[in-house]
A and B are shown apart, each in its own frame.
Chain A
Amino acid sequence: MSGASPRVGIVAVSHSRPLAEAAVALALEMVAGDPPPIAIAAGTPDGGTGTDAVRVSEAILEVGAGGAGVVVLMDLGSAVMSAEMALEFVADPELRVRLISAPFVEGLLAAIVRAAGGADLDAVATEALAALRPKSEQLGDAAADDDQRAVDDPGDRADAPPAAAGDLASAAPPPAIAEAVVRNVAGLHARPAAVIAGLVAERGVALTLATDAKGPVDATSPIGIAVLGAGPGTRVRIAATGAGAAAAVEEVRALIESGFGEELAELAELDVAPAEVQPAAHPSHETPSHPLGVSSGRVVGPVAVMVHAADEPDPAVRIPADARYGAATRLREAMLAVAGEMHATAQMLSGQRRDVLVATAAIAADPALHRAAEALVRDEGATPERAVWVELGRTAAQYRELGGRMAERVTDLVDVRDRIIARLTGVERPGVPERDHPFILVADDLAPVDTVGLDPECCLAIVTEQGGPTSHTAILARELGLPAIVGAAGATALADGTVVLVDGDTGELIVQPDEGARATATGVITLPPFEGPGQTADGHRIVLGANVGAPRDIRRAVERGAEGVGLFRTEFCFLDRTREPSVDDQVAAYREVFAAFVGSRVVVRTLDAGSDKPLPFLTSDDEPNPALGVRGYRTSRRDPEVLDAQLRAIARAADAEQADAWVMAPMIATVAEATEFVARARAAGNRTVGVMIETPAAAFVADELCAVVDFVSIGTNDLSQYTMAADRMSGELAHLADPWQPAVLRAIRLIGEAGTRSGTPVGVCGEAAADPALAPVLVGLGVTSLSMAARAITAVGAIVSSATLAQCRTAAEAACAATDPAAARAAAREALAT
């Protein structure tokens, strides 16, 4: 343990000498070998209570003699002031001293243990700063937990991060070296960078990555990794020192070679080029030079312009020497707090939005960024906000230079920058505008966090100046089903309230459209509410319900004339919780929905956890392939009580209200599962029980399923994904995961036929139900109810009522017989026109 290199010194500042001595003794019980240099500056010389700045400065000089830096822990009040004052007395500019705001005992213990192990100043300081975390977690202290969560971020729990990339480059040859070739199409962009940084931080080794063109960079820094700009085919050199270096190098090598579970590039061995920056490798990700429609729909509405970007902090302001350490600490705390905040928000999301936000939080927690920004404050007296501005500006310039997907992430950097500055200056950063009427959101670009505050019931469409087809705006818009255009230069110059027409298919943006143009909008809010009952032209009944995912959806569903709820997602009761909600809480939440639909059908789907909707108390996060893992009904094998409690809550809520409550389980693959679920649901007091059909397995045994359930409901999103073996979240595979694929339509036909034969109601509650062109086809395939986003009901209802059942069947047969989605659409359209 006592290596030749000097170790970080620790100073304990307290009002009370016995307190400090006891705390140090407690920490030393944890140290097996030689303790690091420790000095106590506590109490008055006569044994009284008090602190003495001069004594603190002497203690700092004493333990800092080795040159590895000093970490100071203090209790409260004058101890803090004395420690700050002591820095003024320490004349040595070479001596790096960190005052740590952690609680005295916890911080001291963490710092001493870490310093004893030979960690560097940054690592000791970081560890000490996060020392409250185990206690907050134990006590479930939410607020403290948020503050500390930043340490979960890749890179920040750096046990022994290298001081700087430059130092490493000139260090002695590292004992472990390997090479990997980047395999995934997107290269080492933000998400893979965060994954690598997280792994390296956990392993606690000093590890660097380099390409032939750039580096080496500290691999605990996601930003550093990202700016390598390593595209597919790039050879990356991995080098590490420290205990476990060889194993860590191998892990990182395997991770890079695995392609991070993303789409892989087709690389012939000969293609593996000497590494160089290849921004042109992904031209499809470039910000388009003209407006580009990225999410379908054509709507008219007034714009609400969102402006952010903080003002540039004054470069001339200098902090006096004695306040610099305090300012640097404030900066670090602000960065960690922002990282923690973003991380916490990410936990409330799912799918790509979550991944994207986790990667963005990693930027705010990047240890290399911290070091660089803090150095600006400490060494040059820059204000903390100026330091953030400069350092993230530098990174943004590097991202821009790399182009492609990296350039699209510049908005994330700007967002992180503005959040940290807002936190430092107390000036609130403007978010998504709030309006009491529906609006079309116009922004320079949307940051991941903005998407959280966006109410899809109030936002009609999104228009941004920046961003490409893979930007957050595009991802978000598609997830929310909102029309969207990116790359609309000059859009933010529009005056608030200007009426525009937005077409997310063609990229058309018409300012102040005339009556004729307005009439071409298909998704406008001026459509009247749906007036039921839903039926075909010849009176064949089709129930048109709304999907409800949260209480806020209820009002909208009622307003739009929904005939009940065809899919009530119950996850909102469970998300963002670490423990299962009580039955009483659940009953209250379900009753709220039932109460709004007296006499109407409300189909409740039991908890669909797993895959893109992980729940901490139910799902494990280490599945190699969560979409094919323990999700939906499958979680109840592990935790049957969660499902049984929910089934009881649904039955109780149904008894207390007058809705026609149906209940169904997601992710069923076998008849045995369906039989078991029906028995459990009935035992809990539920009358009408069904299952979802999302797997090809369930579609194949639809006849047998219909024999044991009261109804089935087709989840077309998952059925498409599993039938086509194409991740529904992947933009690259969107052409495969398309319900218009003849294979998917034929799977639906199997189910529709089984339902017709047995007289079992067959619902569709995926996105497909909201596609007006597809609705008659679904009806023709035997579907008896459609459930969709509330705003689509009027349009779907109008289409359904314009065709006879016979026409629908003809259209369905034609679509099923087609060879691809485009041909299926054309065939259905033609059949309906005759």
Chain B
Amino acid sequence: MSTTDTITIEGFTAWLAAFRDRVTEHRSYLTELDSAIGDADHGANMARGMAAVMEKVGASPATTADELFKTVGMTLVTSVGGASGPLYGTLFLRLGMTAGAVAECDAAALSSALRAGLDGVVARGKAEAGDKTMFDAMAPALDAMDAAIASGASLAEATAAARDAAAAGRDATEPLVARKGRASYLGERSAGHLDPGATSTALLFDALAEVTAS
């Protein structure tokens, strides 16, 4: 296995920074999406949360994945405020627990850690496919990633496939009627808008694809 086919702690940290940059850059866009169907705080919450995460990570750099992602998860839980806090918090906590006390992950290990994160999100939010939630971007992303790995793709190819599937999943939330979260109170009126959670999740996979591409 070549070194380019693993992601290291530095790579993970770069991923988180890239995710922070994206949610900060798209902060207004995410909030705008959320104002259509939610409480207009997703962009601000995620930007605040990821800024806090990078501050923590910068102050006390971790050496293993479980350590790193525990910090990420707990920081998100305490700093995001909205539903994204427990959801993204759970995602990263489970991801770290599954990855374990390691300094790097290959594609398969990363994928199964992400899968554990998704399972945590499902347990936390009780969301299913088509509920118009972050699940709708993340589940297809991981399916695509696993399919790519199974057909012998590299880490970069696998994360690229995940990115594309997440984006497609995000776009597919537009016609859906929300069944979870505050958006569900809007009923039919929630249709015709992208789901903010699915959109930020697509940014997460976009960031992952970018840092593993090089």
Contacts and interface: CB of A to CB of B under 8 A. Distances in A.
Contacts of B84: 78
Nearest to B38: A77
A76 B38 CA distance: 13
A78 B86 contact: yes
B77 A85 contact: yes
A50 B81 contact: yes
Contact of B85 (A50, A76, A84): A50
A51 B123 contact: no
Interface string B56-85: 000000000000000000100111111111
A85 B78 contact: no
Contacts of A15: 81
B182 interface: yes
Interface string B34-73: 0000010100010000000000000000000000000000
A76 B74 contact: no
B182 A85 contact: no
Contacts of A84: 86, 124
A82 interface: yes
Given A48-B81, A51-B81, A81 B74 contact: no
Interface string A12-51: 0001000000000000000000000000000010001111
A505 interface: no
Contact of A54 (B39, B78, B87): B78
30 contacts: A44-B79, A49-B82, A50-B41, A50-B45, A50-B81, A50-B85, A51-B81, A51-B85, A51-B86, A52-B77, A52-B78, A52-B81, A53-B77, A53-B86, A54-B77, A54-B78, A77-B82, A77-B83, A78-B81, A78-B82, A78-B84, A78-B85, A78-B86, A81-B124, A82-B85, A84-B86, A85-B77, A85-B89, A85-B90, A320-B123
B101 to A, nearest CB: 20
A53 B120 CA distance: 15
Contacts of B125: 81
Given A49-B41, A84-B124, A78 B83 contact: yes
Contact of B86 (A44, A49, A82, A323): A82
B45 A81 contact: no
A55 interface: yes
Given A77-B182, A81-B124, A50 B86 contact: no
B11 interface: no
A251 interface: no
Interface of A: 15, 44, 48-55, 76-78, 81-82, 84-85, 320, 322-323
Given A50-B45, A320-B123, A81 B87 contact: yes
A210 B124 CA distance: 45
A55 B78 contact: yes
Kindly list the 4 A-B residue pairs having the minimum CB-CB distance in the complex, ordered from nearest: A50-B81, A78-B83, A81-B86, A44-B81
Nearest to A320: B123
A329 to B, nearest CB: 13
B36 to A, nearest CB: 17
B85 A53 contact: yes
A580 B74 CA distance: 59
Q: Which of A49, A76, A81, A323 has the most CB of B within 10 A?
A: A81
A437 B80 CA distance: 63
B100 interface: no
Nearest to B84: A78
A85 B45 CA distance: 18
A101 B90 CA distance: 22
Given A78-B82, A78-B84, 8 more contacts: A50-B41, A50-B81, A52-B81, A52-B85, A53-B78, A53-B86, A55-B78, A78-B86
B123 A50 contact: no
B181 interface: yes
Contacts of B181: 77
A125 B44 CA distance: 36
A85 B128 CA distance: 19
A50 to B, nearest CB: 2
A334 to B, nearest CB: 16
B80 A53 contact: no
Contacts of B83: 77-78, 81
Interface string B125-144: 10000000000000000000
Contacts of B182: 76-77
A85 B78 CA distance: 12
Contacts of B86: 51, 53, 78, 81-82, 84-85
Contact of A85 (B41, B81, B82, B124): B124
Contacts of B89: 53, 85
B182 to A, nearest CB: 5
A53 B124 CA distance: 12
Contacts of A49: 39, 41, 81-82
B135 to A, nearest CB: 14
B200 to A, nearest CB: 15
A54 B71 CA distance: 13
B164 to A, nearest CB: 29
B78 A323 contact: no
B69 to A, nearest CB: 15
B30 to A, nearest CB: 16
Interface string B142-180: 000000000000000000000000000000000000000
Nearest to A51: B81
Contacts of B124: 81, 84-85
A60 B50 CA distance: 27
Interface in B85-128: 85-87, 89-90, 123-125
Nearest to B185: A76
A51 B79 CA distance: 9
A84 B90 CA distance: 11
B80 A50 contact: yes
A480 B124 CA distance: 51
A213 B59 CA distance: 68
Q: Which of B45, B74, B78 has the most CB of A within 10 A?
A: B78
A132 B182 CA distance: 21
A54 B74 contact: yes
Contacts of B74: 54
Contacts of B77: 52-54, 82, 85
Contact of B123 (A52, A77, A78, A323): A323
Which one of B45, B85, B90, B182 has the greatest number of beta carbons of chain A within 10 Å?
A: B85
A493 B5 CA distance: 64
A52 B48 CA distance: 14
Contacts of A323: 123
A85 B84 CA distance: 12
Contacts of A322: 123
A19 to B, nearest CB: 14
B155 to A, nearest CB: 30
B172 to A, nearest CB: 23
Nearest to B183: A77
Residue in B39, B41, B86, B181 whose Cβ sees the most chain A Cβ within 10 Å: B86
Nearest to B45: A50
Interface centre among B74, B83, B84 (most CB of A within 10 A): B83
A562 B95 CA distance: 76
A612 to B, nearest CB: 46
Contacts of A54: 74, 77-78
Contacts of B82: 49-51, 77-78
A54 B90 CA distance: 12
B116 to A, nearest CB: 12
A244 B86 CA distance: 47
A322 B86 CA distance: 13
B84 to A, nearest CB: 8
A407 B152 CA distance: 64
Nearest to B126: A326
A44 B44 CA distance: 13
A275 to B, nearest CB: 50
Contacts of B78: 52-55
A51 B87 CA distance: 12
Nearest to A49: B81
A319 to B, nearest CB: 10
A77 B86 CA distance: 11
